[in-house]
Chain A
Amino acid sequence: MVQVEGVTPASADADGSDQSARARRQVPGGAEGSTITAMVAGGKEFARPARTPCRQDSILNGSHGDSAWRIATEDIVGQGILSQVNYAQDTIVAISTPTGPGAIGIVRMSGPDSLGIAGKAFRPARGQSLQPAENFCLLYGHVFDPDTGDDVDEVLLAVMRAPRSYTREDVVELHCHGGLAAQRAVLRLLTRLGARPAEPGEFTRRAFLNGRIDLAQAESVAAIVAARSSGALRAWVRQLEGGLSGRVRGIRRELLSVLAQVEATVDFSEEDVEPIDWQAAARVLANVKQELTVLLRTALVGRALESGVRTAIVGKPNVGKSSLLNALLMRERAIVSEIPGTTRDTVEELLEIGGMPICLVDTAGIRVSGDRVEQLGIERSIRAMQQADLVLAVFDLSAQLEEEDYSLLAQLDPDRSILVANKVDLLIDASASVARLLEAASEPRGPARELRGPGGEVRETAAGEKGLAYRDLVRYEPAGLGGEITLEKPALTGWRLCAVSALNGEGLEHLRALVQEVVTAGMGVHLEEPVLASERQRVLAKEAAEGVAAALSGIEAMWGEELICEDLRGAVRALGRITGEDLTPDLLDEIFSRFCIGK
């Protein structure tokens, strides 16, 4: 049974978007897992496709051939479901204000359940409930967790009922305290109570679809939103797309050639078509399968790049992690205070280094703590470090290295870490401290931590290679530290180190450069190589890989040609959906160019 919404003509608004007039009916049918809404207008029913989330950037990001729009909308079609986010169905919620210094942050909710959800979590100061609130009123009160009864934040709640709102749906805005923590807490609460986190640009999309704004206006909104991300990033995406198309096309052509052979024996069995060399075909298919596997692996990279290379900033308490985060972001983010253990939670921020998105995760200082909340924070931090693609390990140059520092060093992987020697501004001569840090990092550890180079020999520290860090030290050293540092113990192997001051910004450029270096070299992220950039592409590539695998089993088990054809066609079609090519004409072209067919 399927939920169907119907609009009875009598109660439809002049612009047909009066949500409150919708009635719900039960209608049989509907594909698994999807919901179909039908609009009854004038007595006729039209199936509206079911919803599927759109994963890409703002859907309204440019109208004339701009790739973001097309990527976004292709996402929908490419899943073969041709479904569209059903703007009438879900209630969406998002933090609407940009994160930054400010007294107020706004969490906005739009959809049929806005008032309902808000009502569950909002306790007005004056005691009246939410529902009869007038349109365009502002209520003072508290957001609380209905399960625990705890207050989350003190807020002003604004009610805007459909259709006189930005999206033409019921909209509730919660004006919270500025500061990410409060807003996130409210967001999480509302999500728990039934709202769905909005996709980027979704409010604007609903506004457009509901006729509140036209496409030109939507584009201008999108342009403002887009201005925050860099043009380089977009160019990078486009470039990746081009490279990817070439690779996918190549694979598709190989598949098509095998498919054409099999199809020819089916459709032209009467003709003098050479019998298929199944061995050769199987070899080609195995090759294709390998290529697809490689491509699918890039999806992981692609995903990482999409949501940012996860970079954890770790270190013992009070080494300046949050300061570093803020310094890198060039704005205040996390709560920074003198007291160790201030960051109770992990704070995530997206920024861009060298054109690549990096998701910085600031963590609670890792130490032994009796405080339970802090302990939880520490556990989260450790997890974040383990799950991170890259770790920035921060050390306080001005202090002695302690137990926690050593144990942290022991857990780090030189290929995926950068040692950040912070507070260089506090030292007159940092070279000694740096040397000590390097020696500590180089100390022989247990079998898990082999500090030798791949050949088994101790790697020499070439002047140019890690000399970068040393030169920094020299440069930033106020009172002359000429030349390289000599260590008493064997030279470190493979560590990247940077001396910085989060306070005054020294060394940050070099840190950024190191990050870029680690990400590209260490993770195998090459911006020239094709990468499956979106979930849609990954799903399609996976479908193609499965089709090829099935065809290979079919050949081995000697199933009928027509079944092998089905599998191959599925694979070719899936790849074609990535690049936008059509199966049948290509197939026929291939057949006729290969075979002399004809009666």
Chain B
Amino acid sequence: MGTRARAEFDVVVVGGGHAGCEAALAAARLGCRTGLITLHVDNIALMPCNPAVGGVGKGQLTREVDALGGEQGRNTDRSFVQMKMLNTSKGPAVRALRAQTDKRLYEDWMKVTLSRTAELRLIQGEVSDLDVSRETVTGVRLADGRRFTCRAVVLATGTFLRGKIVIGDKSLPAGRVGELPARYLSASLSRLGLELDRFQSATPPRIDGATINPSRMSLQVGDEPPPGFSHWEKPAPRRQLPCYLTHTTEATHEVVAKHLHLSPLKSGSVSGKGPRYCPSIDRKVINFPDKPSHPVFVEPEGVTTRELYLQGLTTSLPVFVQEKIIHSTPGLECARLVRPGYAVEYDYLPPQQLTLSLETKAIRGLFSAGQINGTSGYEEAAAQGLIAGINAARYVHDQPPLVLRRDQAYIGVLIDDLVTKGVDEPYRMFTSRAEYRLLLRHDNAMERLSQLGYELGLLTADQLEKALRKKRDVETYGALLEETLVHPTDANNEFLERLGTAALDGPTPALKLLKRPQVGFAELLTLLPEGVRRRWDNVPAEVIEQLTVQVRYDGYIRRQLAEIKRQRATETLAIPKELDFWALEGLTFEARSKLHHLRPTTLGQASRVPGVSPADISVLLIHLQRVLNTLSRACTTHEATHERGALVTGPEDYEAACPGTE
């Protein structure tokens, strides 16, 4: 670097939300001098909407963040008030964990963790500008005049960029209620050549818990003992708080319909697209007028507060309408409003401007993570924050970035979807977005990602050892399962027939029996003689779970692995950076335009670009082959992030990581 003074920070993270915290922690833990600049230090890790972490699809993200060495899982385990495993009646591939958290406790714990992190400094202030020289970021400037030099910046501004709150006909500039928005940064980003667009999101009202009538609602309790997100810590025991379930009525819908003209959605004072899957009650009534009722979950916001969160009553109708709506709902007839629901509109950065490492294509060293990229949800934010933080650190250390693949993690699916397809509504993770859903499960996040987390430097050797131990156990017990025979005794056969499955006609390996849906592990043990059963006395529950899953899904898993292998060639075929898409004959105009705009790095990514058809891809392939053949040097500099995608590389590694799938 010559005579240049050392930058004050290696990495600056702008914004202290869920993405910002993960990014800051990751960067600091990887040895970067990190600064977290936020408008309100008090509001770090605040949960502005549902005080919950996890759910189907989202829970898998949190689990993966934890498996890699991120913070959200652990933080949730320390602060939850209710924990429940979802989809238990369905297969393991779609089971997910969901926690109701104590908002304050969640924030506090995160703040404690931040304060205990050595290389991390907290700064309160408003970032107004980025210093960029020769298309590389060199520092940030604050509205109050302070400047900090740095080598990389992670933008994690959430809903704060030119944020605007709308309730009914009233609106005011705010990132969240009661908080000033970021006023200048948007303009700065635009000046740097980045495009911005608008999205909106909304949140429901909060009511006073002392004013509800639980007898008119149904009770929802958590699992005992509560499972946890984190692989590394067991959640401390606590008294779990209940949730309640009620439903809106025809009366509710009449109220909404009568006052619809006051809804900012109708009046147009909220522009920007909202998410389809998180519609406000106004939208629900408009779109599904025949539905007589909609569910409303009444959720605790914490141990130290009486406030309850009304999930399902998201709205930005005027306050007096909100009260009417609430009072028309059984159980909430007398409920008193503490805070009204509102809509927030904000600038976001269309994520096709990012690379798969979450770095902007336009400015080197500038990363972006979280709701600013057009996602919604704390889990999606945390996943991006973690990756952005890791990659900012690796950028500073001159290492190739980390890119997770779609067959490796939901995080991979998330980022690939964002960067390749872009968003036209706030993006939320669903399991149906993952084509390899059977392989990306809650129970095998550690096997997939912990080796990687260790090699990155985010997990300790002890933690890795834990992961390896589980792997060994699964192997050992898997082998044991294969050797163990179940004999066709009368007692056994009678038992099997009672379970609704066929009797045995010869000694059968236990593994085969476990394939039958009617035979669970407990049932299997019953079929074994006492002496043999003893060998299973100390097997950990998670090992049993994994073995059962692998056995049940065997055929399907094999198929998916074969599919992944087949796609490998496409996924890893690099597209040279210099390739001029406009010059490729045989592709449609639309395809050329989209490819030129997005500049995908691999053929696989190109195949997912909207507007590019399979025929276009094969033409591209022909051209690539030609380029590869005649200009052999063109592809040598494979700077594309994909090659270094993962230190756990492929289906072979998956099989190695998850024994028993062979």
Contacts and interface: CB of A to CB of B under 8 A. Distances in A.
Interface of A: 7, 9, 12, 15-17, 29, 31, 36, 39, 41-44, 46-50, 63-65, 69-70, 73-74, 76-78, 80-84, 208-211, 215, 263, 265-272, 557-563, 565-566, 569, 577, 580, 582-585, 587-588, 591-592, 596-599
A267 B430 contact: yes
Contact of B632 (A9, A559, A583): A9
Contacts of B170: none
B558 to A, nearest CB: 12
Among B93, B431, B553, B632: residue with most chain A CB under 10 A: B632
Interface string B140-167: 0000000000000000000000000000
B123 interface: no
B399 interface: no
30 contacts: A36-B569, A39-B629, A41-B632, A46-B574, A64-B585, A69-B586, A73-B622, A77-B618, A80-B563, A82-B617, A209-B626, A211-B629, A267-B56, A268-B56, A271-B295, A272-B294, A559-B517, A560-B90, A560-B93, A561-B94, A562-B91, A562-B437, A583-B435, A596-B287, A596-B294, A597-B279, A598-B314, A599-B278, A599-B297, A599-B312
Interface in B606-652: 610, 613-615, 617-619, 621-622, 625-626, 628-633, 635-636, 638, 652
Nearest to B570: A82
Interface in B561-580: 562-563, 565-570, 572-574
Nearest to B91: A560
A595 to B, nearest CB: 9
A65 B615 CA distance: 10
Contact of A599 (B50, B613, B628, B629): B50
A359 B131 CA distance: 73
B194 to A, nearest CB: 25
A571 to B, nearest CB: 13
Given A263-B432, A562-B90, A12 B632 contact: yes
A267 B56 CA distance: 6
Nearest to A44: B636
B288 interface: yes
B569 A47 contact: yes
B588 interface: yes
A1 B635 CA distance: 26
Contacts of B276: 592, 597
A587 B277 CA distance: 13
Contacts of B432: 263, 266-267, 565, 584, 587-588, 591
A16 B565 contact: no
Contacts of A31: 562, 565-566
A39 B632 contact: yes
Contact of B618 (A74, A263, A587): A74
Given A73-B615, A77-B615, A84 B314 contact: no
Given A566-B438, A599-B314, 7 more contacts: A46-B573, A49-B573, A74-B614, A77-B614, A209-B629, A266-B90, A270-B56
B57 interface: yes
A576 to B, nearest CB: 10
Interface string B426-443: 000011110101100000
A275 to B, nearest CB: 11
Interface string B263-289: 000000000000011111001100110
Contacts of B617: 77, 82
Nearest to B638: A44
A54 to B, nearest CB: 10
B296 to A, nearest CB: 10
Contacts of B630: 15-17, 211
B444 interface: no
Interface string B514-541: 0001000000000000000000000000
Contacts of A269: 56, 86-87, 90
B56 A266 contact: yes
A596 B291 contact: yes
Contacts of B572: 46-47
